[in-house]
Chains A and B, each alone.
Chain A
Amino acid sequence: MSAFLALVGRDLALRGARGGLLLPLIFFALVAILFPFAVGPDPALLARIAGGVMWVAALLAALLPVDTLLEPDRADGTLDQFVARGTPLALVVVARTVSHWLGFAPLLLLTTLVASALLNLPAEQLPALVAGLAIGTPALAALGVLAAALTAGLRGAGGLAGLLVLPLALPVLIFGAGVLTAGPGETTAVKLLAAASLFLVAIAPIGAAAALRAALD
């Protein structure tokens, strides 16, 4: 457990040192600012697409640091150190998922408040958006780590990572958007989102650990 906490703490410190903590945030805010320019400032149109735009932005923000999630640890021998110590790679991967999530999601949820104003998100959708993102972003973080593990050792893996992850992230996106439009008292979408998110959080680290093992061999 202390190894796990040490890992998460070190990851966050490293992200902070590299200035990576603000990057997803700026990206997310930029999308929210760019969209009105792209589709026009019509408040009704913006209100209709705001929630979906923010979900897509969150998905892409989760993929943004994919080349720095695991590749540096592979390249500088850190992963070798873990394997030689007998530390399970699954533990490393889960810790990385947690730190990745902490690195982008909480601040992103805060930024949602600003972005929702910029995009004229209907006030009654805001709680659904924040709750949905809170449930769905762990799955997006897990998929980001999976993509990082699969592409460890490749240069310019960002585009490839998107191709690998986006089909798998589709259910989270669909159910997350469903939460936005669900009427009061309708909980189907939330339950489905939670189930899909839980499932991905459970299986992605298994795949990521296996992929990392293959990357070392």
Chain B
Amino acid sequence: MFEGLSFGLGAGQALLVTGPNGAGKSSLLRLLAGLLTPAAGEIANPFATAWLGHDNALKAERRLIDELRFWAAVDGTPAARIDAALDRFDLDAIAALPVRVLSSGQKRRAALARTWASGARLWLLDEPSVGLDVANVARLSDAMREHRAAGGLVIATSHVDIGLDDAAELAL
């Protein structure tokens, strides 16, 4: 799909992948997440990785809080961090509701909360702002800024401005 692509990223840095539809933005992120195997070349990703794809991977039948707790158990993060994540993405009021009744923006926020709570060093965000209103895009920006300030890395694709300050840009 693409050839001759090379980049490196260090602590606190961010990369914004841009390009028209079908350019391979999602595929690049999937490669980095280990979801695709490169036909040639190599990918060195030494970081614990949190993945936010197009799909939110939340089960419709389950309560939001149960889903976040489940992923926290998989990630081995403490319960207090889930509470903080709920707070951060304004999910407290809907935490006890089944995912089935949530709006797409609410589900996106829940998936972001999972990313934030995972404690992973590298965030791979594929169109993270889909379905989010202005206030919640600001929450996303704040979360990314804080994550990078703490030495975290962000690689994201987006069609809109998600407030990824002084990020390197990769146009496909």
Contacts and interface: CB of A to CB of B under 8 A. Distances in A.
Contact of B34 (A5, A6, A83): A83
B101 interface: no
Given A2-B76, A14-B61, A87-B74, A81 B51 contact: yes
A90 to B, nearest CB: 15
Interface in A59-106: 75-78, 80-87
Contact of B70 (A10, A77, A84): A10
Contacts of A83: 33-35
Interface residues on B, range: 20 to 34
Contact of B57 (A13, A14, A76): A76
B159 interface: no
B57 A81 contact: yes
B49 interface: yes
Q: Report which residue of B34, B53, B54, B74 has the largest number of chain A beta carbons within 10 angstroms of its beta carbon.
A: B74
Contacts of B73: 2-3, 5-6
Contacts of A3: 73-74, 76
Given A3-B73, A7-B74, A17-B61, A84 B55 contact: no
Nearest to A6: B73
B83 interface: no
Contacts of A82: 74
Contact of A84 (B50, B56, B59, B62): B50
B65 to A, nearest CB: 13
Interface string B73-113: 11110000000000000000000000000000000000000
B107 to A, nearest CB: 11
Interface string B42-74: 000000111101111111011000100011011
Contacts, number: 73
A161 B126 CA distance: 34
A3 B70 CA distance: 8
A216 interface: yes
A217 interface: yes
A75 B33 CA distance: 17
B124 interface: yes
Contacts of B58: 76
Contacts of A2: 73, 76
Contact of B56 (A10, A17, A77, A86): A77
A84 B74 contact: no
A181 B66 CA distance: 48
A5 B55 CA distance: 24
Contacts of A155: none
11 contacts: A10-B66, A80-B35, A80-B51, A81-B71, A83-B34, A84-B49, A84-B124, A85-B74, A86-B48, A216-B35, A217-B36
Interface of B: 30, 33-37, 48-51, 53-59, 61-62, 66, 70-71, 73-76, 118, 120, 124
Given A18-B61, A85-B48, 6 more contacts: A77-B53, A80-B30, A85-B74, A85-B118, A86-B49, A87-B74
Interface of A: 2-3, 5-7, 10, 13-14, 17-18, 75-78, 80-87, 216-217
